[in-house]
Structure 1
Amino acid sequence: MDIKKRIKNLLFFHEPRVERPFILTEDSEAGKYDPGTDKGRAGPESKKNEDLLLKKVKKIKLTKKKESPADEEKSDISKQLSENLNVIEERFSVPLNGDLIIRKFDITVKDSVIPAFLVFFDGLVNTKVINDDILQPLMLLSNLDFKSDRDDVLTYIRSHILPHNQLKEARTHQEVIDMVFFGGCGIYIDSLDVAFVADVKDFPGRSVERPNNELVIRGPQEGFTECLRGNTALIRKRLMDQNLISEDITVGRRSKTPCSILYIRDIANSSLVAEVRRRLKSIETDHIMDAGELEQFIEDNPSLPAPQIIATERPDRVCAMLTEGRVAIIMHGSPFALVVPITNSDIIYSAEDQYLRFPYSNLLRVIRVLAVLMSLLLPGIFLAITNYHHEMIPTDLMLAILSDREKVPFPSVVEVFLMEISFELIREAGIRIPGPIGPTLGIIGALILGQAAVEANIVSPILIIIVAVTGLGSFAIPNFSAGFAFRILRFGFIILAALSGFLGITVGLVLMGLWMVNAKSFGVPFVSPVAPRTTGGFSDAVFKSPVWKQEKRPDFMNTKKKRKQAHISRGWVNRGASAQQSDSGNKNE
């Protein structure tokens, strides 16, 4: 029974069990509600639902009252500096942590000195900034009078002594600890029950470079790095919109990995943003180190081979998707940004499509669709024709194939599996071998193994061509995860074709179609705008329209603003026509 359930879960999509279901309403359904249509339906059931709704609203209001600022956690920072020092040393396991720096110093005042200390991690901070902007002003340039009011002292330190641009007050030790781990410097001063935290981070990392996986000929040549703020800066550099929001959130109980949720406030659907925020906050795990792990925690259907979240390393592609109403997630320590929701057409698009003229990009899209079909079906079609449907190919070609297979001792299906597995081994070895040797080894290894296999009568020459073309088709798919999905499904189609020829391939295509039609990506149907059919979204869904005709955003996103450019965006065309008309009118006069 357990095996049957697993097979059923793999073949059929099940909505994830959530306490609060999320539905992104389509534009085609928006505005169709008529209050008068429900008056006749009012009854005991609707009354019961209204009572439940009122109870939920009251519960929400009570929860908001409990979370009011009046009931916030009180400060656990003592006015005694020695107590604070003991707490910090205990929390940071001093002296076991060799890279933790606790710098004690005295602040000059009018009549005496006030003890204080700094806490930070060596290697995560800019020590020059600490020396010039924190220690020097407090030790040499301050003129504090601690007899004045506490709030006045805090204001004076923040406004006159410490010139650092990012200085915050922390009321708990945990706030200080969290900031210190993220490149901050904690400042404790005797007689104050509040600590200061200065952002002086200087993480070791690489500079902005060309993307490794999404290379383009035309277009920007910058890719994301592992620095969160550097990645958000790359997006803001290209999208200078005051409505671009970057919300900070932390995932992982122990790793406390910072993440940013980016969206355009007056475009993105509020329900979509709330759902992304809810899924991230509901993650309960000790650590998340990369966007690949985060993607698996928040995707809708883990059993679907096709990716339901786009992972991209290009800031320009993220900006283009944000303007369509999508939401991006950037994670500290990962050079990839996650964008949701997506459709099946997004996984075969390249970032270069936006920068090429529409005839060129449409030609490339046709080639990619053919590459997907070859990568998915070509070995299965070969098996179906050679084993079941001999009449579909010319007799001479059939005789040539049979003559090549006379000395091969294996059945066709074993032959295909043997070559497919060998090709996957060569591909994996080429990736894992370091340096420039990897690609060279892959090409030479494929040539040598293929030639040796043919001469040893292990496989037929035609199958070498089939497997090579299939591999080229998988390499032509722009999305790395989608390429994996098609490689997995290809083995399923090989088995179905070996069992029942084209009938098996047809059954596999139907099951895959049902699978994809039932799938959703953050409330958006995976095969939108085809199923369900919507009124818009076709300007860039299958074939690309001219850029000046892409007037509206995809309506399956249900964005707040539907139009992204004017109906006649090339104003110079109309101005030129009107100028010609005026010139002709002047000549007639």
Structure 2
Amino acid sequence: MNIKNFINNLFEQNYNFSIVNNKDNKIKPTNNNHTSIYPEINRNLEFIQSKYNTLINSDIVIREFETLAQNQLYKSFIIYIDGLVNSISINDFVLEPLMFPKRVQNPNPANLLNYINNRLLPQNSVNKVEDFEAVCSGINMGNCLLFIDTLNIAFDIDVKKYNSRGVDKPENEVIIKGPQESFIENIRTNTSLLRKIVNNENLVIENIPVGNISKTKCGVCYMKNIANSDLVGEVKFRLSNLSIDSLLSTGQLEQLLEEEETFGVPQLISTERPDKCCKYLFQGRVIILVNGNPYALIAPATIEDFLFSPEDTNLKPMFANFLRSIRLVAAIITLLLPGLYIAVTCFHQEILPTELLFSILSARENVPFPMIFELLLMEFSFELIREAGLRVPSPIGSTIGIVGALILGDAAVNAGIVSPILIIVVAITGIASFAIPDFSFGFHLRVFRFIFIALGFTAGFLGIGMGLFIYLTLLCSLKSFGVPYTSPITPSSSDNNGYFIPPVWKQEFRDSFLSPKRKKSQAKISMKWKY
């Protein structure tokens, strides 16, 4: 073992933050070889018309007019995309002041640029851009770009007005007790939801465009006084060094940011709930928002996060830990129960009580198929019913799932294709999979369940034991943005809260595996009214 590996292992054993090697988190340099804006208005107009194919693009609007300044008229034009802008704002705060500068006391300034920027554009956000790369970026984002003759810059005026749905209740992460707001497809609305809850100036939201063509806006959100600087730098480094043409969803981004893809376990948390994001922000984690997507990604992720429900925060520790125990058992059942069943019935019948063994054998007397075929048939049928219930319209989706399972199971037993005990095993496994709060982690367990079925059919308990050993070894070796995936279970530390939730008044410290800047989350005596 060389010195570098020895030092890295030493740090990991002491539970310090270990970030992967990323060349000192250097952000990819931007390309500055962009075409500059011309002083001649006609050249700028020709360039824009050619760039946006205005002869065939029906939603590109170019409005030419003249601006009065310095006792002369300057040819001008604005360009915007119809449907992305507020037309009233353009008329009242762009065209009217420029074409009819009645309220301006000094219409003959010495500096045309400052006169336009400071006196004729009463809009809250106006930026000056110097190249056509920035011009196109502003137009594509829904801004209005203003060009004036003799000026080799353009004015990027924020007049965006997207048509989007309002903030609604969460559809996939439903809780009984707690906030009832979810993210929408507008990134600015999503950041406002975070700021409304956090209510602190230390919340930083950085924009990083991803996609050589789409330039999708991604927001990196973190608490600058809590989050580890190496973690923030690693997230920004990975986002800035993605070379793809387009980014369309958080699911696509999740795959691009993961360190290990072959294992299939999710390495980032996906959520539609702002309150859940804020909980992790206060822990020192990083939130990634993608414009056009109602989901956020949270980094880093550990295995316990996928068994966490936002409702746990709003329940008393006794009730929350009871539910966490149920979810842990449900995860084990989802992964191992069918494999254990086939291992017992094929290799280890001696561990069953005699009456139960005779009951299982008598139930299979008329079944013509081998045990493995019988089990796989019912597992695939259950997955088929589940998928059908998701794809059909929601009012009848649940009906198809319930009725389909009842009819199919009863018909299969009456026809002698499967045994009743197998229907019970498959049903318990399916119900347990629904108790997993995170969809991606539940999907991972459902897929790996078939691997353990094959191992149980091939080698019984020995095969399942070897498979479980390899599975746990892979989990322990996995990292999410430098953080061990099995934290805080292992490596264990007294500074970590563990899997089960302590009372609120005992949550004095943040989890040490995140190496936060601010380790204490509250005073040792938080309920001072008692003392």
* TM-score computed with the length of structure 1 as normaliser: 0.84
Alignment pair present for 1:28 and 2:29: no
Rg comparison, structure with higher value: 1
The structure 2 residue matched to 1:459, chosen from 418, 434, 438, is: 418
Give the alignment of 1:301-340 within 5 angstroms. Answer: 301-340=260-299
User: Could you tell me how far apart the structure 1 residues matched to 2:459 and 2:71 are?
Assistant: 95
- The answer for the alignment partner of 2:5 in structure 1 is none
| Offset of residue 503 of structure 1 | 1.2
One-letter amino acid of the counterpart of residue 572, structure 1: W
* TM-score computed with the length of structure 2 as normaliser: 0.93
User: Could you tell me how far apart the structure 2 residues matched to 1:573 and 1:387 are?
Assistant: 61
The structure 1 residue matched to 2:86, chosen from 105, 120, 126, is: 126
Cα-to-partner distance string for 1:36-55 (whole Å, 9 max, x where unaligned): xxxxxxxxxxxxxxxxxxxx
| Offset of residue 138 of structure 1 | 1.0
| Offset of residue 72 of structure 1 | 6.9
Structure 2, unaligned runs of 5 or more: 1-7, 18-22
The structure 2 residue matched to 1:426, chosen from 361, 385, 404, is: 385
One-letter amino acid of the counterpart of residue 14, structure 2: S
One-letter amino acid of the counterpart of residue 42, structure 2: S
- The answer for the alignment partner of 1:266 in structure 2 is 225
The structure 1 residue matched to 2:506, chosen from 546, 549, 559, is: 549
SS at match of 1:283: coil
- The answer for the alignment partner of 1:496 in structure 2 is 455
Cα-to-partner distance string for 1:305-353 (whole Å, 9 max, x where unaligned): 2211000100011011011110110000111100000111001110110
| Offset of residue 172 of structure 1 | 0.8
- The answer for the alignment partner of 1:566 in structure 2 is 523
CA contact (8 A) 1:102 1:118 kept: yes
Alignment pair present for 1:84 and 2:80: no
CA contact (8 A) 1:24 1:523 kept: no
SS at match of 1:260: strand
* Residues 422 and 443 of structure 1, relative CA distance in 2, 3 Å threshold: same
SS at match of 2:283: coil
CA contact (8 A) 2:331 2:445 kept: yes
Give the alignment of 1:51-450 within 5 angstroms. Answer: 76-109=36-69, 111-141=71-101, 143=104, 148-149=109-110, 152-450=111-409
User: Could you tell me how far apart the structure 2 residues matched to 1:75 and 1:457 are?
Assistant: 75
CA contact (8 A) 1:146 1:153 kept: no
User: Could you tell me how far apart the structure 1 residues matched to 2:98 and 2:166 are?
Assistant: 34
One-letter amino acid of the counterpart of residue 262, structure 2: S
User: Could you tell me how far apart the structure 1 residues matched to 2:505 and 2:457 are?
Assistant: 49
User: Could you tell me how far apart the structure 2 residues matched to 1:384 and 1:255 are?
Assistant: 51
Cα-to-partner distance string for 1:13-70 (whole Å, 9 max, x where unaligned): xxxxxxxxx9996693669xxxxxxxxxxxxxxxxxxxxxxxx99xx9xx99x99xxx
User: Could you tell me how far apart the structure 2 residues matched to 1:383 and 1:75 are?
Assistant: 68
SS at match of 1:436: helix
Query: Paired residues, what number?
Result: 517
User: Could you tell me how far apart the structure 2 residues matched to 1:99 and 1:147 are?
Assistant: 36
* Residues 24 and 284 of structure 1, relative CA distance in 2, 3 Å threshold: farther
| Offset of residue 90 of structure 1 | 0.9
Structure 1, unaligned runs of 5 or more: 1-21, 32-55, 575-589
| Offset of residue 74 of structure 1 | 8.4
SS at match of 2:196: helix
| Offset of residue 97 of structure 1 | 1.1
| Offset of residue 476 of structure 1 | 0.5
User: Could you tell me how far apart the structure 1 residues matched to 2:37 and 2:265 are?
Assistant: 51
One-letter amino acid of the counterpart of residue 278, structure 2: C
SS at match of 2:277: helix
CA contact (8 A) 1:24 1:272 kept: no
| Offset of residue 80 of structure 1 | 1.2
User: Could you tell me how far apart the structure 1 residues matched to 2:520 and 2:12 are?
Assistant: 16
SS at match of 2:495: coil
CA contact (8 A) 1:26 1:556 kept: no
User: Could you tell me how far apart the structure 1 residues matched to 2:286 and 2:134 are?
Assistant: 28
One-letter amino acid of the counterpart of residue 452, structure 1: A
One-letter amino acid of the counterpart of residue 272, structure 1: L
* Residues 72 and 281 of structure 1, relative CA distance in 2, 3 Å threshold: closer
CA contact (8 A) 1:109 1:145 kept: no
User: Could you tell me how far apart the structure 1 residues matched to 2:352 and 2:491 are?
Assistant: 38
Percent identity among equivalent residues?
Answer: 44
Cα-to-partner distance string for 1:509-537 (whole Å, 9 max, x where unaligned): 10101010110000000011232233321
Cα-to-partner distance string for 1:221-270 (whole Å, 9 max, x where unaligned): 00000101110110000001111110110001111100010111111111
SS at match of 1:377: helix
| Offset of residue 148 of structure 1 | 4.5
* Residues 130 and 406 of structure 1, relative CA distance in 2, 3 Å threshold: same
One-letter amino acid of the counterpart of residue 467, structure 1: V
| Offset of residue 163 of structure 1 | 1.1
One-letter amino acid of the counterpart of residue 242, structure 1: E
